[in-house]
Chain A
Amino acid sequence: MKVKTAGALIILVFLSGCLPTSVIDDILMVEAEGYDYIGDGKVLGTATMPNYVESGNQGGQGAGLPSTAAMMSSVSGVTYDSKSLIDKFQSKGQRPLRLGKVRIMIFNKRMARHGLKKELDFRNRDPETGRDMQLAVVDGSTNKLLTAQYQTTIPVSRYLTDMIDQNQEQNYPKSNLHQVLYSYYGNYMDPFMPMIRKEGMHLEMRGIALFRNDKYVMTLPEKNVFLFKMLFEKFNQGVYDYQYSPGKHVVIRNVYSTVSYKVRNGNGAEPEIFAKVRLMGDVRQSAPHLLKKDYHTKVEKGMERDIEERAFKMVEMFQKKRIDPLRLGDLVRSYTRQFDGASWDERYPHAHFHCSVHVNIMEMGVSQ
């Protein structure tokens, strides 16, 4: 039996031949891809790979690579829209480029407006990349963003993803590749991504870029992001700033927020959508003398009214622009038997959106 096993092993060696290897330190792992549209179906692509050798080998003294050795850390070049950047840049690669660890793809506004159809299709088809990667739209040039120097020395790809991840734990809704593809391919809904900008030596989140199918339409300003997330999913770490009266603010940090929807008359000309939000939170900051005995009526009710009003306005704007990032269409579908999908696009702007918010302030910090 051992002879047979040994034989089998030897055959295994010969049969499999040589599979192409990707030894971890002999490849360049692309971590971020940037796409700048330059018109006429042409794209300026940028790819960055983190540079791990920069700090030198801690264990090795006097051997191996010199501590100054640094691999190339970014490539860029012009190609046609939808071209896989890796394949394009392979000829510029010092070592083989590999796509498996791409963590973020960013597009400039023009690219997003042009449409991301081909890129999304490519990402969905590609077995190599992860599905939890981030997508983002950049206000400005992605090439500059990816190749610039920042305060931090960790690679820009990681800086970007850390920033987006951390924000999505809080005010920003989850929008990784899975979410985007879900909305992009799904019927009666549209994708959205965070909007990012480079400000001097650092990066910042600038709201949410909203799409119609694969094309960028508008940006949701940062002050409305909380409302968006509140209507989009349940979450527990957002911060809402309520302006009680000019100069007087109350800020609450929600401990818990849920949303539930009801739909009436889904196949009618004017469907009605009811959103019911329960929001529980603690006060973070408040203008003095605002939280008195009647804060229930004054602050909570005022805040409820404020949120309802702004949420309504936000959805109204979505309807006007005929975009549906909140997936309301899919919601109506799920509540309606024999849903009439063909005419939904016509009916969507006429749908009535009702939002009722119940705010419950639970604690007010450690001082009275």
Chain B
Amino acid sequence: MQKKIREASQVSPIIAFFITLSIQIGIGVLSFQRTVSRHSGQDAWVVMLIAGLSTLAVMWMILRLLDNEQAYGQPDLLSIHRRLFGKWIGGMLNMAALSFVTIFGVVTLRSYIEILQVWVFPQLSVFGISIIFCLMVWYAVLGGFRVVAGICTLSTLYMLPLILNGGFELQQAHFSNLLPLLEHSPQSLMQSYMQAIHSYLGFELVLFFHPFIKRPEAARKWYYFGLLTALYIYLMVLILALTYFSQAELQTEIWPTLTFWKAIHFPLLEHFDIIGIMVFLWVFLPSISMSAWAISRGIKQTFPIIRQKYALIFVLVLFVILSAMIRDGARVEWINNLYTMIGFYFIYAYIPFLLIYQLIHKKMKQKQTKGTG
């Protein structure tokens, strides 16, 4: 039913690394230190480590799911839904999945605008700036998946200096803050787990873009490698924040990384935070443009009459409206929590379910064919 994807719009396997990494490092990285350590204190890094490793397991399931699907058609979530659940239920599930991705995009966009408003331009209008962002995303996504993947690749490059300046933090680190090790009970660790997952979410978009990677077998290691790098970056950023701030102080900082940047100064510029926030646009951009791309493509797949370029405009208008509807910081937090909840169940409950269902479906089919044959 679906056309095969042209090779010209596919990207080489190594790009899978950059995409996974840059989508995972998103809004979370500026603010997760506080939320993750709220319940688990200095042991938050353990939670982060466990959650990161669990993403590897989820990724294994996702890739398994997609590999199994390869035999039947295009290996992506929407095709799987279609095939397993039929046109109507599958279509409904597709819409649900797309709304989840929409939330992902909107949360990222709105959180970045919030940071801009708080730190740089309090007078910035959400409506105006989100239109400008969406114009930018529109211009990028018009170029197709290759350009979106290019943004992911470049984003990783621009991210480097932001991550590397953690070295300044190291000079004032109190490593005794990490002691005593493993003091917290498993319950309090579990409470932090949810927040840790919030930072890691994003990689499940593999379910949408996987068919666009050339030689999927070769890409597999790059997916895992991307996840591991993200895990490493998160761990490093978290440990730096834990050692730089005292525990109770950290709880007062909504964006610990930015607060830390306020203290950096170079001979030619002070207040690194402003520069950092601006460059951070490139850390957010992959998530926003990838989600816009995934949704517009999803709409095209579900309703084949709509062309993707028109679907894209619809998606971006939706982004603007939704982010303008989120008026204040409290609502940003609310939608972040909602997103975490849905994401949590999506990756830990829905994906295993889908994998099992796929196997059962296959068995049933085999029996049927045996029965009839």
Contact = CB atoms under 8 A, between A and B. Distances in A.
A368 interface: no
Contacts of B119: 127
A19 B121 contact: yes
Given A17-B125, A130-B270, A335-B179, A182 B131 contact: no
A15 B128 contact: yes
B180 A334 contact: yes
A71 to B, nearest CB: 22
A185 B118 CA distance: 22
A16 B132 contact: yes
A189 B132 CA distance: 47
Contacts of A127: 118-119, 258, 262, 273
Contacts of A129: 262
B263 A131 contact: yes
B191 interface: no
B179 A334 contact: yes
A31 to B, nearest CB: 13
Interface string A1-35: 00011001001100111011000000000000000
Contact of B246 (A11, A176, A183): A183
Interface stretch (B211-219, B247-255, B287-295): B247-255
B86 to A, nearest CB: 41
Contact of B180 (A4, A189, A337): A337
A336 B180 CA distance: 7
Interface size class on chain B is 35 or more
A166 interface: no
A339 B180 CA distance: 9
A331 interface: yes
Contacts of B318: none
Nearest to B260: A131
B326 to A, nearest CB: 18
Contact of A334 (B177, B245, B252): B177
Contacts of B132: 8, 11-12, 15-16
Contacts of B179: 334-335
Nearest to B178: A334
B61 to A, nearest CB: 37
B242 to A, nearest CB: 12
B249 A181 contact: yes
A28 to B, nearest CB: 18
A178 B246 contact: no
Given A132-B263, A178-B263, A187 B270 contact: no
Contacts of B271: 100, 130
Contact of A19 (B124, B136, B139, B180): B124
Given A4-B139, A336-B180, A337-B180, A186 B124 contact: no
Most B C-beta atoms less than 10 A away, residue of A16, A337, A339: A16
B129 interface: yes
A265 interface: no
Nearest to B272: A130
Given A15-B127, A17-B128, 14 more contacts: A8-B135, A19-B124, A127-B273, A129-B262, A130-B263, A130-B270, A131-B262, A131-B263, A132-B262, A185-B248, A185-B252, A189-B246, A330-B176, A334-B179
Interface of B: 118-119, 121, 123-125, 127-129, 131-132, 135-136, 139, 172, 176-180, 183, 245-249, 251-253, 258-260, 262-263, 265, 270-271, 273
20 contacts: A8-B132, A8-B135, A11-B135, A12-B135, A15-B125, A15-B127, A15-B129, A16-B129, A20-B123, A100-B271, A131-B262, A131-B263, A132-B263, A176-B263, A178-B172, A182-B245, A184-B249, A185-B252, A331-B176, A337-B183
Interface of A: 4-5, 8, 11-12, 15-17, 19-20, 100, 124, 127, 129-132, 176, 178, 181-187, 189, 330-331, 334-339
- Sorted nearest first, the 8 A-B pairs with minimum C-beta distance are A186-B246, A185-B249, A15-B128, A334-B179, A131-B263, A131-B262, A334-B176, A132-B263
